[in-house]
Chain A
């Protein structure tokens, strides 16, 4: 172990040298075993010093380098790069932090600070003696992406990835693509309909040969990781042959005796067991919902295309990256929340939107004509008592847009907005302007004093202590009460658990960094987009879908992935497979393998993040973390003592 080491001690202008006697540090370490040269420098990160370091490493054939300066967060990568430029493997560089840990922390005690700095540098020298040259782990990556969820986010990402030359598998749990957006009529700010958007996206999808769309399909397991996810999917058949005669099918639908609440219309209407949500949706083929079908055979007699012989299918899909676009559920109010399920004229905003879409000349609900509509905002969002502390972003604008639509489509509609502050941010503000100019009335209350819904002699009255009128108690008789419900994570989010995707406090999928890594997850190779990450409107959803597509593409584009080599390593001879490490691993990177003699643990190199959680739980000390081995850490502790 005769390494030639170079040590540099930085003044950091005076940030270090004002409190730490850097010359004394240099003198104390220059005689350390292996130290070939020890220098002080005004700014280690400065260009001239970097050049000098490169020269030193090259001309003296140094085997290890230590810079004692600031936090590694600031300049670890800088000096690793310098080391590389000196033709030395970058893992032979060790960083010593004597600014945050010595000079700044002990500015009242110069002698003590200097003493501590000497120990820190000696510990770094101890570590660098063990340093070995490492090469990044290379794994191959399949140039295909599996997108889970066929709403606008999934469809848009699919088109983008297809254009980049990826094979795309678009997996949709429902029988039709388009997700929530297909349920909406006109959309805010553009007034296009949701159906139009979905049609455009679907036509774009259909043109592309490298996109495979699976509907009625659920992911049931995954056994792979970044570069090669191995997904098992279950495809439920439609029980209708691909090509079918529309007229006959309509007769078959009419003949079906089963009627169930239609969740496409948020249960305000019913549908048959053989159904399509609306004419012209995609794929343009109806479906038999076998959960409700009684197999009476009525449809089969009318239409020859009904085919009950179709079988459920299990398929395997391999993908280099997985893009999650599973969307949201609208919040379901609790029984009695603002009269929900208590009075018969309380609905949610999505229900009203469907009602407006389905009504022609007059807006009627349960046979009664609607004139006065009361909107109660922030239901299920910004909760004081409940867990949903977040703002759902889309609802203020959506409620106002719905109010305008209703007022324009039907006669004598009066809208009353019971809100907690209107948040029609950005370009959406024009809708707020339009609605108030149309005569919509806005009433505001604080979160601790919400509006109260009561029923008096068959009339539904909403009361509020309006803060815009000096907290005067005001009331209005409502024909219809609309709860402006926010977004919540999908009720069935099992697909997230399947990938061990972490969730935030709001129970939506969590990104790594809100601002700088907004679509990546801690599970390598899995990106998130759209409302499965948190409330978003369509515009924001498409933005995040395109960004997730770009990120997923970066995992698969080169065919090869380079991963950080600092990971856990198992000494097979010591391992007795007790399962403790596998339980401790947060990333599911440890698997058991067996040979003739015994069972032992194996680390999945592409999944391990080198966090070190498995090390202390190993009873036989069979695990070492590369670059942080026991001997390295122990020698550092010895130097510090």
Chain B
């Protein structure tokens, strides 16, 4: 027994969904979806749950994460109910459901609040720099430490509890029995999907996009590793220096492609962008570009006189690490791969 709640639709609209009420359940969307299977059929069912406001059913479902948004469903919808965009909005909503702090939801729903948070983070960096009298060495030293501690804290305090909450919603609460052995044996699946997103290849004509995304993920993780572990900005090794350049170039060129796609709105995937989508790609682009700039300034030995470039990079980094990673779109990196893992367990 489930109670219908038409007010849920109103909430979902704040996460970017629209017109999904027009659905008359023909099922064309599910029929054309190349990822939908008999056991895991979507998106029609998700549209139906959303219309009826069956929150518990959506919370315990992994289907929103199983969709990689090729947009075929939206193209073929006879009622222009935008099922693809609904699935996207459900992912945003689920992100806020998994987040124990509740901040994800607030930031997704309110652009002014997001801007306020970004300004706050920037002010923090500036105030810190003023306190340190704009001493480059000290600031870069703390900047490096910030990176390391921010990663550990965000992961330990926000992301890990959120993953556990996701686990509770999709495995424990629906009382699905999973043996310890399965938890172990499924782990390989988690790694594969986390680093390759191979499921996205199942979408029709998606090879190029998958490749771009794959390279971006490798570039981003590589750049993270190079700056945090190999300490790119302080390293004298030619190999590390060149590697850092290469990875940062990958990050900002691929993100330029993604941003331009969102501007041109040719693909279903990039037609409707929420602030969270823009912030994610633009900040990733700025990160790559500013990191590249900092290292160029170091190598041309003009950083001492142009400390602003490092401050800019640090501001972007802090905003990224404290807002976008724990509460923004970054989390899809984790939830998507864990969804594949939990799906395997089920």
The residue on B at minimum CB distance from A466 is B52
Q: Does A439 lie at the interface of the complex (its beta carbon under 8 Å from any beta carbon of B)?
A: yes
Q: Does A200 lie at the interface of the complex (its beta carbon under 8 Å from any beta carbon of B)?
A: no
Q: Does B6 lie at the interface of the complex (its beta carbon under 8 Å from any beta carbon of A)?
A: yes
With A472-B2, A475-B2 as contacts: A436 and B21 at CB distance below 8 Å: yes
Q: Does B35 lie at the interface of the complex (its beta carbon under 8 Å from any beta carbon of A)?
A: no
Inter-chain contact A437/B2, CB cutoff 8 Å: no
Selected from A416, A433, A439, A472, the residue in CB contact (under 8 A) with B9 is A439
List chain A residues, Cβ under 8 A from B24.
422, 432, 436, 442
Q: Does A43 lie at the interface of the complex (its beta carbon under 8 Å from any beta carbon of B)?
A: no
CA distance A433 to B77 in the complex (A): 14
Query: How distant is A506 from chain B, measured CB to nearest CB, in Å?
Result: 29
CA distance A309 to B25 in the complex (A): 65
List chain B residues, Cβ under 8 A from A477.
3
Inter-chain contact A474/B22, CB cutoff 8 Å: no
Inter-chain contact A441/B51, CB cutoff 8 Å: yes
Instruction: Please indicate which of the listed interface residues A433, A442, A463, A468 has the most CB atoms of chain B within 10 Å of its own CB.
Output: A468
CA distance A469 to B41 in the complex (A): 12
The proximity string for B residues 19-56 relative to A, scoring 1 for CB distances below 8 Å and 0 otherwise, is 10111110000000000000000000100110110100
Inter-chain contact A438/B4, CB cutoff 8 Å: no
List chain A residues, Cβ under 8 A from B23.
436
CA distance A447 to B80 in the complex (A): 30
List chain B residues, Cβ under 8 A from A476.
3-4
Q: Does B1 lie at the interface of the complex (its beta carbon under 8 Å from any beta carbon of A)?
A: yes
Query: How distant is A92 from chain B, measured CB to nearest CB, in Å?
Result: 64
Inter-chain contact A474/B6, CB cutoff 8 Å: no
Q: Does B213 lie at the interface of the complex (its beta carbon under 8 Å from any beta carbon of A)?
A: no
CA distance A475 to B3 in the complex (A): 5
Q: Does B79 lie at the interface of the complex (its beta carbon under 8 Å from any beta carbon of A)?
A: yes
Inter-chain contact B21/A474, CB cutoff 8 Å: no
CA distance A432 to B78 in the complex (A): 14
The proximity string for B residues 60-92 relative to A, scoring 1 for CB distances below 8 Å and 0 otherwise, is 000000000000000000010000000000000
Selected from B1, B9, B21, B51, the residue in CB contact (under 8 A) with A473 is B1
Inter-chain contact B4/A474, CB cutoff 8 Å: yes
The residue on B at minimum CB distance from A470 is B45
Q: Does A275 lie at the interface of the complex (its beta carbon under 8 Å from any beta carbon of B)?
A: no
Q: Does A184 lie at the interface of the complex (its beta carbon under 8 Å from any beta carbon of B)?
A: no
Inter-chain contact A438/B21, CB cutoff 8 Å: yes
List chain A residues, Cβ under 8 A from B9.
439
Inter-chain contact B4/A433, CB cutoff 8 Å: no
List chain A residues, Cβ under 8 A from B2.
472-475
Query: How distant is B196 from chain A, measured CB to nearest CB, in Å?
Result: 33
The proximity string for A residues 302-318 relative to B, scoring 1 for CB distances below 8 Å and 0 otherwise, is 00000000000000000
Selected from B6, B25, B48, B79, the residue in CB contact (under 8 A) with A439 is B6
List chain B residues, Cβ under 8 A from A463.
1
Query: How distant is A27 from chain B, measured CB to nearest CB, in Å?
Result: 69
The residue on A at minimum CB distance from B53 is A441
Q: Does A414 lie at the interface of the complex (its beta carbon under 8 Å from any beta carbon of B)?
A: yes
CA distance A463 to B3 in the complex (A): 9
CA distance A416 to B3 in the complex (A): 12
Inter-chain contact B3/A441, CB cutoff 8 Å: no
The residue on B at minimum CB distance from A374 is B4
Query: How distant is A491 from chain B, measured CB to nearest CB, in Å?
Result: 37
Within 8 A of B (CB), among A185-210: none
Query: How distant is B98 from chain A, measured CB to nearest CB, in Å?
Result: 24
Selected from B4, B49, B79, the residue in CB contact (under 8 A) with A475 is B4
Query: How distant is A127 from chain B, measured CB to nearest CB, in Å?
Result: 62
Inter-chain contact A433/B22, CB cutoff 8 Å: yes
Selected from A437, A443, A468, A469, the residue in CB contact (under 8 A) with B22 is A437
List chain A residues, Cβ under 8 A from B25.
468
CA distance A438 to B19 in the complex (A): 9
Selected from A439, A443, A475, the residue in CB contact (under 8 A) with B21 is A439
List chain A residues, Cβ under 8 A from B4.
416, 441, 443, 474-476
List chain A residues, Cβ under 8 A from B52.
441, 466, 469, 474
Selected from B22, B45, B49, the residue in CB contact (under 8 A) with A436 is B22
CA distance A422 to B49 in the complex (A): 20
Query: How distant is B65 from chain A, measured CB to nearest CB, in Å?
Result: 20
With A473-B1, A475-B1 as contacts: A437 and B19 at CB distance below 8 Å: yes
Query: How distant is A481 from chain B, measured CB to nearest CB, in Å?
Result: 14
CA distance A470 to B1 in the complex (A): 13
CA distance A439 to B21 in the complex (A): 6
List chain B residues, Cβ under 8 A from A474.
1-4, 52
Selected from B45, B48, B79, the residue in CB contact (under 8 A) with A433 is B79
Query: How distant is B97 from chain A, measured CB to nearest CB, in Å?
Result: 21
Query: How distant is A540 from chain B, measured CB to nearest CB, in Å?
Result: 24
The residue on B at minimum CB distance from A476 is B4
Within 8 A of B (CB), among A457-514: 463, 466, 468-470, 472-477
List chain B residues, Cβ under 8 A from A475.
1-4
Within 8 A of B (CB), among A438-461: 438-443
Inter-chain contact B48/A437, CB cutoff 8 Å: no
The proximity string for A residues 595-635 relative to B, scoring 1 for CB distances below 8 Å and 0 otherwise, is 00000000000000000000000000000000000000000
Within 8 A of B (CB), among A411-447: 414, 416, 422, 432-433, 436-443
List chain B residues, Cβ under 8 A from A439.
6, 9, 21
Inter-chain contact B6/A437, CB cutoff 8 Å: no
The residue on B at minimum CB distance from A438 is B21
Query: How distant is B129 from chain A, measured CB to nearest CB, in Å?
Result: 51
Inter-chain contact B1/A441, CB cutoff 8 Å: no
List chain A residues, Cβ under 8 A from B6.
414, 416, 439, 441
Inter-chain contact A468/B3, CB cutoff 8 Å: no
The residue on A at minimum CB distance from B25 is A468
Instruction: Please indicate which of the listed interface residues B6, B49, B54 has the most CB atoms of chain A within 10 Å of its own CB.
Output: B6
Within 8 A of B (CB), among A385-430: 414, 416, 422
Selected from B3, B21, B48, B79, the residue in CB contact (under 8 A) with A469 is B48
CA distance A440 to B9 in the complex (A): 11
List chain A residues, Cβ under 8 A from B1.
463, 473-475
List chain B residues, Cβ under 8 A from A441.
4, 6, 51-52
In the A-B complex, the 9 residue pairs with the smallest Cβ-Cβ separation, listed nearest first, are: A476-B4, A468-B25, A414-B6, A437-B22, A439-B21, A473-B1, A436-B22, A469-B48, A436-B21
Instruction: Give 27 A-B contacts (CB < 8 Å), ordered by A residue.
Output: A414-B6, A416-B4, A416-B6, A432-B24, A433-B79, A436-B21, A436-B79, A437-B22, A438-B21, A439-B6, A439-B9, A439-B21, A441-B6, A441-B52, A442-B24, A468-B25, A469-B45, A469-B48, A469-B49, A469-B54, A472-B2, A474-B4, A474-B52, A475-B2, A475-B3, A475-B4, A476-B3
- Known pairs A468-B25, A474-B52, A476-B3. 11 more at Cβ < 8 A? A416-B4, A433-B22, A433-B79, A436-B21, A436-B79, A439-B21, A441-B51, A463-B1, A469-B52, A475-B2, A477-B3
